[in-house]
A and B are shown apart, each in its own frame.
Chain A
């Protein structure tokens, strides 16, 4: 499949600070690509270079195979949905959407037809005459996206467009955005610092940290097989535990600081004596397993963090190391009370360790 966007060895420095550091990636046509990273890691800087508002210090950006070096934003086949939407308050909804088409010099009958069509696409039929300040947050959101989609860009860039919405609406818009993308088939490049947004919507995610891409892959892969400790910490929830490698066979044997011995997985073969960090997902920990294995140990329940399907136990080991454990809401463990001592166990493949 053809790539809509190819970025090669992209660097952007501000003085002696490197905001985007040697980033290379491809986005195939029609896919939903997310860039996930903490605040200040260089996401907006990267996107602004793709949109043409900023020039790279070095490296190349190609859209549909055409090099974009020196091409101004109004000549690039990409459109950007701004972090704060940037709808034009002096125009109504229809005028906002028609803005780009008018600049192209399109016939006004054609413009109004396209405007109607796109408003229906984003489920806002008949909203053309409303003023921007009469819209709700979610509606503004969709107008901003419609205003870009009507231009039929090769690539649609979205800079944390859900950031300003409240939680409930954000959950709803996540699903709607994904559906919309599937419907229109435009390539989306979506920036966010919210890992759940990225995981739900994307075909592929790039995890960014300090200007670099740490790992690029499908959501499931990032979650189940993080390549760096940063990804392990940032994508999904993880318990971290430090220890020392004792022995390596098919798995690594790790002795934690408080003397527990575990078997876990690692990407590299670490020699005995290496200090490592062990990462364990809350849902990898099984409560009161049948049988016994090397990875079985006992903890004390400190509190129950009830959150519906996402409920967890906050537990501590005898040496006061805190661990989060998923608590399935199938009534099996309703008897557990704070202060109880429970047995936990996990499969050696679900614990991953990295050199500390």
Chain B
């Protein structure tokens, strides 16, 4: 009886384990090994830490990383600030039918690929784009303004891409918030801001954290949006990795960067959880 149960369990687990092993463990192991390989002066492959050293000694690399991480944090904050009222409206104020409609509306941009979405923005924002045309016609500006290829536009693009991943967890935690708690706080002389700070945000903490982790990771690992909307001199760390792999054919260096991205971003998330006194297990449940 017991062994039969075991067998079924393994049977069900097998595809999952296989998938994990083939797609995650093996490539990562390979990359890890690769990141410690290098060439000796005469061109023979050797084990080395040089690839990691490069990151810390070449300012361009770690500065790009710091910049990327900082902008990813800013993106996460902006997404949170925008997603909070949106999800509050959907979860608490909208009528049930409107709620479904609004959720679909939020999902809609994800029907098209990210590439198309970014090009959509470019059509709107470029010098000969829709916004400039309208503003010119209305006489608000007299010369077309370049709205693309700056950091603000890039962050806006990232926020737009990440919105859904913040709104969905927030809606689900907000739905579990009892309305009478909000009313009780209001009755006890709390202002609207105090209610937000003392009741809504503490209640939504797990949702905020899981949303923030996803958005942060997505922004950090995004390649298309920073590349297309951010312009030439705004480097994103994923571009560095791409350049190592594709442009300089230095797979060893690229692998090391990939691992550094993984380790450093995990470190940032770990610090974030420590600062807000949370644990990953609590957030996931």
Judge whether A151 is part of the interface by a CB distance below 8 angstroms: yes
Given contacts A72-B186, A103-B190, 7 further A-B contacts (CB under 8 A): A53-B186, A80-B183, A88-B181, A90-B199, A100-B190, A103-B189, A147-B188
Q: Which residue of A lies closest to B180 (CB)?
A: A86
Judge whether A13 is part of the interface by a CB distance below 8 angstroms: no
Q: Which of B178, B186, B202, B203 contacts A74 (CB 8 A)?
A: B186
Judge whether B58 is part of the interface by a CB distance below 8 angstroms: no
Contact A86 B181 (CB under 8 A): yes
Highest count of chain A CB atoms <10 Å: which of B186, B187, B190, B191 = B187
Contact A73 B186 (CB under 8 A): yes
CB distance from B181 to the nearest CB of A (A): 5
Judge whether B156 is part of the interface by a CB distance below 8 angstroms: no
Report the separation of the CA atoms of residues A99 and B199 in the bound assembly, to the nearest whole angstrom: 11
Q: Which of B184, B190, B199, B202 contacts A82 (CB 8 A)?
A: B184
Q: List 20 A-B contacts (CB under 8 A).
A: A51-B187, A52-B187, A74-B186, A74-B187, A74-B188, A82-B180, A82-B184, A84-B180, A86-B183, A86-B184, A87-B184, A88-B198, A88-B199, A90-B203, A99-B198, A100-B188, A100-B190, A103-B194, A104-B189, A147-B188
Judge whether A195 is part of the interface by a CB distance below 8 angstroms: no
Highest count of chain A CB atoms <10 Å: which of B184, B198, B203 = B184
What residues of A have a CB within 8 angstroms of the CB of B199 in the complex?
88, 90
Given contacts A86-B181, A88-B181, A90-B202, contact A99 B187 (CB under 8 A): no
What residues of A have a CB within 8 angstroms of the CB of B180 in the complex?
82-84, 86
Q: Which residue of B lies closest to A100 (CB)?
A: B188
Report the separation of the CA atoms of residues A88 and B197 in the bound assembly, to the nearest whole angstrom: 13
CB distance from B110 to the nearest CB of A (A): 33
Report the separation of the CA atoms of residues A328 and B187 in the bound assembly, to the nearest whole angstrom: 48
What residues of A have a CB within 8 angstroms of the CB of B191 in the complex?
74, 103
Residue-wise interface mask of B (68-111) relative to A, using a CB-CB cutoff of 8 A (1 in contact, 0 not): 00000000000000000000000000000000000000000000
CB distance from B176 to the nearest CB of A (A): 11
What residues of B have a CB within 8 angstroms of the CB of A87 in the complex?
184
Residues of A bordering B, CB below 8 Å: 51-53, 72-75, 79-80, 82-84, 86-88, 90, 99-100, 103-104, 147-148, 151
Judge whether B145 is part of the interface by a CB distance below 8 angstroms: no
Q: Which residue of B lies closest to A159 (CB)?
A: B180
CB distance from A96 to the nearest CB of B (A): 9
What residues of A have a CB within 8 angstroms of the CB of B203 in the complex?
90
> Among residues 183 to 235 in chain B, which have CB atoms less than 8 Å away from a CB atom of chain A?
183-191, 194, 198-199, 202-203
Q: Which residue of A lies closest to B203 (CB)?
A: A90
Q: Which of A82, A99, A104 contacts B183 (CB 8 A)?
A: A82
Contact B183 A74 (CB under 8 A): no
CB distance from B204 to the nearest CB of A (A): 10
Interface size class of B (residues with CB under 8 A): 10 to 19
What residues of A have a CB within 8 angstroms of the CB of B190 in the complex?
74, 99-100, 103
Q: Which residue of A lies closest to B201 (CB)?
A: A90
Lowest 5 A-B CB distances belong to which pairs?
A100-B188, A86-B184, A86-B180, A90-B202, A74-B189
Residue-wise interface mask of B (161-172) relative to A, using a CB-CB cutoff of 8 A (1 in contact, 0 not): 000000000000
What residues of A have a CB within 8 angstroms of the CB of B183 in the complex?
53, 73, 80, 82, 86
What residues of B have a CB within 8 angstroms of the CB of A74 in the complex?
186-191
What residues of B have a CB within 8 angstroms of the CB of A147 in the complex?
188
Contact B178 A86 (CB under 8 A): yes
What residues of B have a CB within 8 angstroms of the CB of A83 in the complex?
180
Report the separation of the CA atoms of residues A148 and B190 in the bound assembly, to the nearest whole angstrom: 13
What residues of A have a CB within 8 angstroms of the CB of B184 in the complex?
80, 82, 86-88
What residues of A have a CB within 8 angstroms of the CB of B178 in the complex?
84, 86
Contact A99 B202 (CB under 8 A): no
Report the separation of the CA atoms of residues A345 and B192 in the bound assembly, to the nearest whole angstrom: 64
Residue-wise interface mask of B (50-65) relative to A, using a CB-CB cutoff of 8 A (1 in contact, 0 not): 0000000000000000
Report the separation of the CA atoms of residues A87 and B181 in the bound assembly, to the nearest whole angstrom: 7
Q: Which residue of A lies closest to B205 (CB)?
A: A90
Contact B202 A151 (CB under 8 A): no
Report the separation of the CA atoms of residues A99 and B190 in the bound assembly, to the nearest whole angstrom: 8
CB distance from B196 to the nearest CB of A (A): 13
Report the separation of the CA atoms of residues A53 and B184 in the bound assembly, to the nearest whole angstrom: 10
What residues of B have a CB within 8 angstroms of the CB of A52 in the complex?
187
Q: Which residue of A lies closest to B191 (CB)?
A: A74
Given contacts A86-B181, A90-B203, contact A73 B187 (CB under 8 A): yes
CB distance from A259 to the nearest CB of B (A): 56
> Among residues 118 to 149 in chain B, which have CB atoms less than 8 Å away from a CB atom of chain A?
none
What residues of B have a CB within 8 angstroms of the CB of A75 in the complex?
189
Report the separation of the CA atoms of residues A206 and B183 in the bound assembly, to the nearest whole angstrom: 26
Highest count of chain A CB atoms <10 Å: which of B178, B180, B188, B189 = B188
Q: Which residue of B lies closest to A82 (CB)?
A: B180
Given contacts A73-B183, A82-B180, A86-B180, contact A103 B202 (CB under 8 A): no
Contact A79 B202 (CB under 8 A): no
CB distance from B109 to the nearest CB of A (A): 34
Report the separation of the CA atoms of residues A53 and B203 in the bound assembly, to the nearest whole angstrom: 22
Report the separation of the CA atoms of residues A147 and B181 in the bound assembly, to the nearest whole angstrom: 13
CB distance from B208 to the nearest CB of A (A): 13
CB distance from A114 to the nearest CB of B (A): 14
Report the separation of the CA atoms of residues A104 and B185 in the bound assembly, to the nearest whole angstrom: 12
Contact A151 B181 (CB under 8 A): no
Q: Which of A53, A82, A100 contacts B189 (CB 8 A)?
A: A100
